[in-house]
Structure 1
């Protein structure tokens, strides 16, 4: 099926009294963005793919130039087991930059509590939880076209709703703001969002700038390449190949530490890499295999190659000064994981991720630190 270009304006509108400022490029920037989007639209009809690629591929062409985009509300949706990882992830080695990480046990977070503090009080006074999310990551945070219209959907979106339900008593009391990978930390530091739930890996470097909840999913970096490509994984087959990754991502850190002679291509949003791969502008992508599995499901002409070369954990990111919110989110996650196969976490996994990332039988067990 050929991709048909569509406008993605519904993902870029303001909702209610959301007064977030968008980053507005200058005249030259706008012209360059328009030119790039026009080129993608002209080429889109020649590309192969299915599922949500058609809408999201065009959306990412415009979001790449925007620092922060408010989204409309999504339409409402009506004991600890051991962690079992897919076999392909079980033997993932340590990250190649692990020796530069000096913090101890980065996945350990503050102990859970439902006591209100200053941050929780502010969110309750506002009546809305402001969440930084993605709208282009299939199965995680994406625009789902249904008979009732377009809505935000995905595993990360379900978690945002659970947090809003606990704090505000209403899972739809959320202002969603789409943010590119490179803006996740600045959006928190500048107070543009309360939380970021956007497949964000917990690591020591990021802990210098933001706080994290306990881990809610385990993933690993892996290579995505066209079927029949000479690229065999994160290895010397990358030499002289144009490899795409998102700015500020774990993949960027990996390639800085060990590039295997590849030619780096940086984009603002991770999905932009899939568009470039389809256009023949890059030879491969490095990203979380949890994200790449969704992309391979959207476009059957690409596949994951090699094995995951890191072991990573996603967490909810928050401002470093919002310790009460960190504890509250950890309390939400305690309840979200509880119930084994009937837990909200497992139901969300089966609904969103199992079709593209099978073999996960339980969430990561939480780790806590003193204090």
Structure 2
């Protein structure tokens, strides 16, 4: 496969990396730390001392994290969740600073503590939990193919052979394309919305991204349609620095409450129209 736009498609592991000494094999990457309303440590204290939460988000994903062109304000499902986390830690949902980061920079931003959390439709998997910590799952996605309505592309199959398929660098979409060996010409871009633009300009034949994002892109451009998924559930989690165990527990406490009061309202507001039929949030899984 070839990649264009100045980026090279790098081989990605298709299985979890070998377990480190003292660690179990990665079987349940979505299992997180138990929630605690009183957990404190460097992660939480850093936010309290600063006086505001710094959240890494996307401002180009319709329905999830995007800037409303009429008001200039950031809106979406992930934006609401980030505000709720600020409310949990600081008692005020307005005390959050949003920092837009590309897909490929999410982990780096957390490692260097440029952001406290990443709320950006980020899939929890065995590869990533070696580098960052995750909350419990707050939404379940899947990889999908988005193509023009008249395209002969039918999904993750031989119809992708020789086609120019766009996906974000560092995304699970990139991994799915490389693992599947569909014979596509993979084009890597910094953010998924760049792929929709490439598709509209005729510079790509299809887009591979999470179905949650693809549904938003299809809503933005009715001339496109989703033509297939991998049927491989992908759990979304809030990502944090791997050492911020206290912050993980506090975020999990917020999510415990949010599932009962907040999640369904956010789903109805942002996602139900494009992703109907979801009865409620995924159940949390814990390590102990």
TM-score by length of 2: 0.91
Q: Distance in 2 between matches of 1:168 and 1:249?
A: 31
Instruction: Using the TM superposition, give the Cα deviation of residue 122 of structure 1 relative to its aligned residue in structure 2, in angstroms.
Output: 1.5
Residues 337, 345 of structure 1: 8 Å contact kept: yes
2:191 equivalent to 1:269: yes
**Which deviations, in whole Å up to 9, do the C-alpha atoms of 1:237-290 show, x marking residues without a partner?**
000000000000001111111131111100011110000000000100110001
Residues 16, 127 of structure 2: 8 Å contact kept: no
Residues 211, 229 of structure 2: 8 Å contact kept: no
Map of 1:142 onto structure 2 = 66
Q: Distance in 1 between matches of 2:229 and 2:31?
A: 26
2:222 equivalent to 1:300: yes
Map of 2:147 onto structure 1 = 225
Instruction: Using the TM superposition, give the Cα deviation of residue 310 of structure 1 relative to its aligned residue in structure 2, in angstroms.
Output: 1.9
Q: Distance in 1 between matches of 2:231 and 2:86?
A: 35
Structure 1: gaps of 5 or more residues: 1-35, 37-63, 65-95
Map of 1:240 onto structure 2 = 162
Larger radius of gyration between Structure 1 and Structure 2: 1
The match for 1:337 among 248, 252, 259 is 259
The match for 2:110 among 180, 188, 199 is 188
Per the alignment, in what secondary structure is the counterpart of residue 55 of structure 2? strand
2:201 equivalent to 1:279: yes
Per the alignment, in what secondary structure is the counterpart of residue 68 of structure 2? strand
Map of 1:45 onto structure 2 = none
Residues 234, 309 of structure 1: 8 Å contact kept: no
Instruction: Using the TM superposition, give the Cα deviation of residue 99 of structure 1 relative to its aligned residue in structure 2, in angstroms.
Output: 7.4
- Residues 321 and 100 of structure 1: CA distance in aligned 2, closer, same or farther (over 3 Å): closer
Q: Distance in 2 between matches of 1:121 and 1:100?
A: 32
Alignment of 1:81-96 (within 5 A): none
Structure 2: gaps of 5 or more residues: 7-12, 19-24
Instruction: Using the TM superposition, give the Cα deviation of residue 100 of structure 1 relative to its aligned residue in structure 2, in angstroms.
Output: 6.9
Q: Which has the higher contact order (CA 8 A, sep 6+)?
A: 2
2:41 equivalent to 1:117: yes
2:129 equivalent to 1:207: yes
Instruction: Using the TM superposition, give the Cα deviation of residue 308 of structure 1 relative to its aligned residue in structure 2, in angstroms.
Output: 3.6
2:74 equivalent to 1:164: no
**Which deviations, in whole Å up to 9, do the C-alpha atoms of 1:40-61 show, x marking residues without a partner?**
xxxxxxxxxxxxxxxxxxxxxx
Instruction: Using the TM superposition, give the Cα deviation of residue 98 of structure 1 relative to its aligned residue in structure 2, in angstroms.
Output: 5.3
The CA RMSD over aligned residues, in Å, is: 1.8
Map of 1:130 onto structure 2 = 54
Higher helix share: 1
Map of 2:10 onto structure 1 = none
Instruction: Using the TM superposition, give the Cα deviation of residue 97 of structure 1 relative to its aligned residue in structure 2, in angstroms.
Output: 3.6
Residues 289, 308 of structure 1: 8 Å contact kept: no
Map of 2:277 onto structure 1 = 359
Runs of 4+ in structure 1 over 6 Å off: none
**Which deviations, in whole Å up to 9, do the C-alpha atoms of 1:207-232 show, x marking residues without a partner?**
01000000000010010000110100
Q: Distance in 2 between matches of 1:145 and 1:364?
A: 31
Map of 1:76 onto structure 2 = none
The match for 1:347 among 241, 265, 268 is 265
